[in-house]
Structure formats: structure tokens, C-alpha cells
A and B are shown apart, each in its own frame.
Chain A
Amino acid sequence: NAGVMQNPRHLVRRRGQEARLRCSPMKGHSHVYWYRQLPEEGLKFMVYLQKENIIDESGMPKERFSAEFPKEGPSILRIQQVVRGDSAAYFCASSPEQGAGNTGELFFGEGSRLTVL
């Protein structure tokens, strides 16, 4: 039973390049969340998606960042024109349908660590 799969695990980009991070949720999970963990800071919510829909993007920076979760394939977090301040660990989490009996547990991937030179 594969967990949440993220790739790449490590990514190095130069300033101005694009970064694409991919996340495949656990089997049977239709909700995907992206979190960012900056050095010396806690996890910060970025965006919540369901298949083909962005439900809540209140944590996404207004520019250069976008996310999608297409009908087929993984969720993608895209960062255009990266800057040094984008260097962080980006975690994806998934959950099943919400409802009674759920603990609210999120299943996290192992993260993608972006380094911007």
C-alpha cells in the first residue's frame, strides 16, 4: 500500500528558473494539500485541491506559484522564476473524503527539498 509519493526528493534550481514538484496521493484519496516548511519555521499551508479543482489557495503567494490536480496524473506545484527565498521543503499530504469517523489525519509524503542557487 504505497503512501504519498513526492518527486523529486531534491531539486536544485538557479534563480529565474522554474521548479515543478509532483505529488501522487495515497490510493483512494481525493484530497491533496501542499505545505511549505522554510528553514527554522513551521509548516505553512499553501493550497488545497480536489480533482480538477482548487478549493482553498489562501496560503499561496500571489505571484509565481500555481498548483493543479488534473483528472489524470499527479498534483503539480509549480514555481516560476524561483528566488533564493523559495528554498524550502515542500510537503504534499492527502486525505480521504471528509466525514464521520475520520480522524482528520493527513498522510504526508517525504517532501521535496528545493534549493535555489
Chain B
Amino acid sequence: EDQVTQSPEALRLQEGESSSLNCSYTVSGLRGLFWYRQDPGKGPEFLFTLYSAGEEKEKERLKATLTKKESFLHITAPKPEDSATYLCAGHAGGTSYGKLTFGQGTILTVHP
């Protein structure tokens, strides 16, 4: 069974304190690894798609990387507005790239 595990469950940072979130996956024939951000009471918002080991993508203070077993979301000099739940998801291919296996998320809180 496909599984995605995220750690830590929660992370509290001071503004400017860089850190990384981890996503370990066992997704048979992984076709894509996705990162989403979810704010309280809202739907997930797309951040990145990674397709192959060694790939990296960046957006503002966020950088996502992928190895054969895990992905990292690096947050550099975070700000309070980066506080959210970060979700990792894997796609195993098949008939639809919209069928994703999500992890439980990491709740990030950035204090000013």
C-alpha cells in the first residue's frame, strides 16, 4: 500500500530561523511528488511538483528537493506569514495524476 509519512508533526520556529520538513514515501512507481500549503479553514494550495531524484524547485523562501526515498521542504529565513500546514503527496501514475496519497502534514508556526 502506498504511504507518505511527514515529520515532524509540528514545528515552531522563530522568524529568520531556517529549517527543513521531511517527507518519506513508499509509493509504487512514483510519478510525481507534490507539496501543498494549507491554511486553517482553507483548501490546499499547490507549491511544487518534483518528478525525479535530484530535482530541486524554489519559490521565494521555499526549496523542495527529492531523493529516491524522501523529499525535503527547506524554509530559509521564514516569516510569520509562512505559518501553515505543509502537505506532501505522491502520485503513483495510472489513469489520473489527480489521485494522490497525502501525508498527514507538518504544522509550521513561525513566531515574530
CA distance A58 to B2 in the complex (A): 14
The residues of A that contact B42 with a CB separation of less than 8 Å are: 110-111
Partner of A45, one of B43, B99, B104: B99
Least distance between A111 CB and chain B CB atoms (Å): 5
Least distance between B8 CB and chain A CB atoms (Å): 15
The chain A residue sitting closest to B47, CB to CB, is A105
Chain B residues with a Cβ closer than 8 Å to the other chain, count: 26
Q: Could you count the A-B residue pairs with CB atoms below 8 Å apart for me: how many are there?
A: 71
Q: What are 28 A-B pairs with beta-carbon distances under 8 A? A: A33-B96, A42-B4, A42-B87, A43-B44, A43-B87, A43-B89, A45-B99, A48-B99, A55-B95, A56-B95, A56-B99, A58-B99, A59-B99, A91-B43, A95-B98, A98-B96, A98-B97, A102-B97, A103-B49, A104-B32, A104-B98, A105-B34, A106-B44, A106-B98, A107-B46, A108-B36, A108-B44, A110-B41
Give the 7 A-B CB pairs with smallest separation, nearest first.
A108-B43, A43-B102, A42-B104, A105-B46, A104-B97, A42-B102, A33-B98
